Structure 1
């Protein structure tokens, strides 16, 4: 009769409930840690993918620059020939070839620079507009298409270097890497882009510049749905 009346005491019940509570807390903490780790991994993979795509596009577009020269008025030397390439410490403008794809292709004006988004956050933006011979060296960037290459940008720095052509005065030629590109009538040989976002610095990107074979002419580029080139 006494054996049938045996059961859990109140103390045993309290111990069991306490152990179960501890296990549930530990399990919940582990699940939160796993979720946070997965979120960080997703963010890191997304950043790596943004870096890969953006750097690949910049390499593809900046490497092929038109060497065509225009007769223009310059502040330094008056009227003279200038290439369609300009660079400052935080911006590059050039004429190159957009990879052919449906609706877009052929020679374009390009501008890569820092812009502020509506949220106030800085972004690295690529702008492009079809190249037209009659437009000269002054595209209307207000009518350009654009693509954000880097969100939450904290730094963008442009440097360039190149060897002087035969007969150029060596004393006035930039030596080594310089911010921007101060030579109006010659292309640099390479540019170096230094980019940082809120998660840190990107690896420095060095891009060799190869003048287009048709760079000094007005035709010869293939266009699909774009402007005449």
Structure 2
């Protein structure tokens, strides 16, 4: 006759302990896989945002209005485009791509502004062009955040004749008669610090519009495909 013996209490406790350890290891592995997948998705989304921002910058700087307006600023030509170029901000008249639901000529400004949490963010502001030679109501203009958080934005402008770079435009000490006929730089270099993921230095060729600016003169500068 055979007798069936069950597990002892010690054996059951050992089995439960081993099962608990196995479940703990499996849950940790699953949690790590989930976190890795989330980080990958965040990096992919950040890369997509970067590509979209760079494409937008190429588009809006690729069609800059060279239409000239009367200027009262000393030391500048009597007629010049609306192109306010400083070391950390740039304002101009350009064409917004139609794929953003806007299209047409707009006043545009690129600058770092405080975000809702206090961190800086790279913002492109835009407002429909009214025909006026200047625009100052930037707080009321629409905004598109291109990168955040951002600590600083450094801009430089290329003088096509010499290939040199200046933090302002027109370059100090450069005779006006040596500037391009459009009175615009050939390219804009952007250095953005603090963005996540980090932005490499970016150089965007600047092209002056022609068909929409019959008053503009001369050819376009900057070279390269957009």
State the TM bucket, normalised to the shorter chain: 0.7 to 0.9
**Cα RMSD over matched residues?**
2.5
Alignment length, in residue pairs?
A: 206
Comparing 151-160 with 176-185, greater Cα deviation is found at 176-185
Q: Deviations over 1:110-168 (max 9, x none)?
A: 111111123212111111112122x222342233222111122233221221224xxxx
Structure 2 gaps of 5+ residues are: 177-182, 217-226
Whether contact under 8 Å (2:107, 2:135) holds in the other structure is: no
> 1:167 maps to what in 2?
none
The answer to whether the Cα contact below 8 Å between 1:65 and 1:215 also exists between their aligned partners in 2 is no
TM normalised by structure 2 equals 0.80
Q: Which moves more between the two structures, 4-13 or 41-50?
A: 4-13
- Tell me which stretches of 4 or more aligned residues in structure 1 moved more than 6 Å: none
Q: CA separation in 1, counterparts of 2:76 and 2:213?
A: 24
**Contact 1:150 1:197 (8 Å CA) reproduced:** no
Gaps of 5+ in 1: 165-173, 219-229
Normalised TM-score (structure 1): 0.79
Per-residue CA deviation, residues 26-65 of structure 1 (Å, 9 max, x unaligned), is 0110011011101101110110111011111110001111
Task: Show the counterpart of 1:152.
Answer: 149
The answer to whether the 8 Å contact 2:46/2:197 transfers is no
Matches within 5 A, 1:1-229: 3-75=2-74, 77=75, 80-100=78-98, 104-133=102-131, 135-164=132-161, 176-183=164-171, 186-213=183-210, 214-215=212-213, 217=215
Larger relative contact order (Cα-Cα within 8 Å, sequence gap ≥ 6): 1
1:73 to 1:216, Cα distance in 2 relative to 1, 3 A: farther
Normalized per residue, which structure has more strand? Answer: 1
